[in-house]
Amino acid sequence: MGYGEGYLAGKLFGAVCGAFVGLLLILFMKKDGRLRCKYDERQELIRGRGFKYAFYMLLGCLVIDVLFGEMLDRVMERSVAGMLYVCIGVIVISVHGILNDGYFSLNENPKRAVAIFLGLFLINLAGALFYIHSGLLVENGRLTDRALNLICAVTLLVIILAILWKNACRKRQEEA
């Protein structure tokens, strides 16, 4: 499927705007207004393990892509497959960090972060539902790049659910 220059320029502009808004959201999540996250040594070890697991998961995704790439090309565009692999890695890093108390930095406000994640989830879900309703999600039997909203929404939902589950487990431990 070919896209015009305007479409590609729009995607680039959207990515730049998204990066700028992301930077502002990161600043909003911090207690001290700094960009840099502060982690203790235990958290750094947990995060390192999470990155290692995500790296191996990404390698596994790429091996699957090499072995079954032609079959995948029949059901989704390359950009969708690439974003799917990235989001799988993000889920691995995030869930590992959340379940082992290494996700939120010492200078982050977890409640603000969850509120931002929830807002981003709803925005992506709205985009995905629009594309589903308008029939633009699938063309010629293949997922188009418009499925990226759905993939991001699912990723954010998994992260939010992991945070809620961890908080529920923590409350049960405190009550016991």
Q: How confident is the model at residue 3 (pLDDT cuts 50, 70, 90)?
A: low
d(CA 49, CA 96): 8
Query: What's the rounded mean pLDDT across residues 94-113?
Result: 90
Q: In the prediction, which pLDDT does 128 show? A: 95
Instruction: Please write the tens of the pLDDT for every residue from 139-153.
Output: 999 999 999 999 999
Q: In the prediction, which pLDDT does 85 show? A: 97
Token pair in block for residue 56: 């191996």
Query: What's the rounded mean pLDDT across residues 91-108?
Result: 93
Query: What's the rounded mean pLDDT across residues 76-91?
Result: 95
Q: What is the DSSP letter of 145?
A: G
How much of the chain exceeds pLDDT 70, in percent?
97
Q: In the prediction, which pLDDT does 38 show? A: 85
At a CB cut-off of 8 Å and minimum separation 6, what does 156 contact?
A: 117, 118, 120, 121, 124
d(CA 3, CA 41): 48
Q: In the prediction, which pLDDT does 2 show? A: 56
Q: How confident is the model at residue 63 (pLDDT cuts 50, 70, 90)?
A: very high
Q: Name the residue among 22, 28, 38, 27 with its Cα closest to residue 107.
A: 38
- Residue 62: pLDDT above 90? yes
Q: In the prediction, which pLDDT does 124 show? A: 93
Kindly report the pTM of this predicted structure. 0.85
Instruction: Please write the tens of the pLDDT for every residue from 25-45.
Output: 777 777 776 767 888 999 999
Q: In the prediction, which pLDDT does 161 show? A: 97
Residue 138 φ then ψ, to 5°: -125, 130
- Residue 109 near residue 31, CB atoms below 8 Å: yes
Residue in the block written with tokens 């995704």: 61
